Amino acid sequence: MAEKIFSAKCGREVRAGEIVVARVDLAFAQDGTGPLAIRQIEKLGLRGVARPDATLFFFDHASPSPRKELSDDHVFMRTFSKNTGAGVSEVGAGICHQLVAERHAAPGMLIVGGDSHTCTAGAFGAFATGVGSTDVAVAMALGQTWFRVPESFSVELTGRFEKGVFAKDLILHLIGDIGAAGATYQALEFSGDLEALDMESRLTVSNMAVEAGAKAGLFPADEITLAYLEDRGRSGEKLGPDPGASYQRSLEYDLGRIEPTVSKPHSVDNTALARDLSDVKVDQVFIGTCTNGRIGDLQIAADMLAGKKIENGVRLLVGPASRETYLEAERHGLLRIFVEAGGLVLPPGCGPCVGVHQGALGSGEVALATQNRNFKGRMGNPEGFIYLASPATATATALTGRITDPRKVTT
């Protein structure tokens, strides 16, 4: 599929390993990478961007800003956007990857973002990849950039998840199997019986492709994709790999055999089963982020929490991924359930996942989060310990104070 998308963009057949210059359909940066990208555009001697309508700046990493230095970065980005006509997604709108999913992504698009989790939009059959500030600056300024067409790594899925098991468990399990560098430089491509994975589940899986080193995490665009787009007044066409497409490596998974899975500190590929970690006490549970802060994720948590209280001594933070998610959660009464259960609701944004604000860990503290990374220092303290899991496992853990297999909690 990667070769197919690049061939369409280049107007000729291209093959894995080739270096090509291709026009990008969307280039974006967030408030951590945007200021440097803008300075690089200025260093290029350019004052504008090639296509303002295909250039976006998001405020999500420090949102709202906790410090004057970051407020100044925000001012810098707003001023540049105003002067160039580039789009701005303000504080409170949500996380860049969720907003790209809600508003922009479509099958066959070529998207670069100054954020490693740009691969999230691969769920739509878009070739979306994370790049640094200089790369995104070049893409914004010139409307095109260079790529090495990646080899593809096939992951074929069959079966259905058991109750209490979700897409997050699948992707953690896969990364545990192949390792944090298991797909470096490659495009992970998911295929098989994909009816079990709705768009939100696919976004969770694609989001974490980079945690296996992959350049992209691609799903074919099928009826489920088109229905999601139609719901939001957008359209697209089906897109899948050609019959007989070749892959550098292929794996198969039966979803029915996946169990609730957890990544242990301090690497994503350090996985274990939730049921084997019941002696791990947890201080903070965070449900949110571009990985698992969507409405389906919050619904799972609310269904498990309704009428209950979280364990004494545990802090529960819930962060809707976008304003749309926040409003929908409010309409369905989910926010009230979180607060009544003893949790707190954060504004839409990256929250504590990047260690900037809103829930930094104390030294020696343990967090279980639905985010995508648990590197040392990730949540603001190198003396903290981070476990990663699904929203269901996170909620079960908030209820008991110890890492808990969600299948043990009745709803």
Partner 1 sequence: MNLLVGKTWVFGDDISTDHIAPGRHFHLRSNLPELRKHVLEDAREDFAKNVKPGDFVVAGKNFGLGSSREHAPAIIKLAGVSAVLAQSFARIFFRNAVNIGLPVILVNTSGINDGDELEVNLEKGILKNRTSGKEASFPPLSKEMMGILKDGGLVEHIKKHGEITL
Query: Which member of 108, 122, 130, 319 binds partner 1 (CB under 8 A)?
Result: 130
Nearer to partner 1, 142 or 239 (CB): 142
Minimum CB separation of residue 102 from partner 1 in Å reads 21
- In this structure, the strands spanning 19-23 and 144-148 are antiparallel
The Cα 217–Cα 209 span in angstroms is 5
The Cα 105–Cα 124 span in angstroms is 7
Query: Which member of 49, 138, 199, 305 binds partner 1 (CB under 8 A)?
Result: 138
Query: Which member of 191, 322, 381, 397 binds partner 1 (CB under 8 A)?
Result: 381
Q: By CB under 8 A, is residue 55 in contact with partner 1?
A: no
Nearer to partner 1, 107 or 114 (CB): 114
The Cα 200–Cα 189 span in angstroms is 17
- Residue of 395, 116, 145 lying closest to 260 (CA atoms): 395
Q: By CB under 8 A, is residue 189 in contact with partner 1?
A: no
Q: By CB under 8 A, is residue 102 in contact with partner 1?
A: no
Selected range binding partner 1 among 288-296, 323-331, 354-362, 400-408, rule: CB under 8 A: 354-362
Write out the two tokens for 4. 């197919």
Q: By CB under 8 A, is residue 75 in contact with partner 1?
A: no
Contact 209, 170 (CB under 8 A): no
Query: Which member of 81, 120, 133, 370 binds partner 1 (CB under 8 A)?
Result: 133
Cα first-last separation, the chain = 41
Write out the two tokens for 182. 């298991």
Minimum CB separation of residue 41 from partner 1 in Å reads 9
The Cα 289–Cα 370 span in angstroms is 7
Q: By CB under 8 A, is residue 32 in contact with partner 1?
A: yes
Minimum CB separation of residue 5 from partner 1 in Å reads 18
Nearer to partner 1, 34 or 296 (CB): 34
Instruction: Kindly tell me the number of DSSP H helices and DSSP E strands found in the chain.
Output: 13, 18
Task: Please give the DSSP secondary-structure letter assigned to residue 388.
Answer: E
Q: Which residue type is seen at 349?
A: G
The Cα 81–Cα 342 span in angstroms is 40
Minimum CB separation of residue 363 from partner 1 in Å reads 12
Write out the two tokens for 281. 């006490």
Q: List residues binding partner 1 (CB under 8 A).
A: 19, 21, 32-33, 35-36, 40, 43-45, 61-62, 67, 69-70, 72-73, 76, 113-116, 118, 130-135, 137-138, 142, 144-146, 180-181, 184-185, 210, 213, 215, 267, 354-356, 360, 373, 375-382
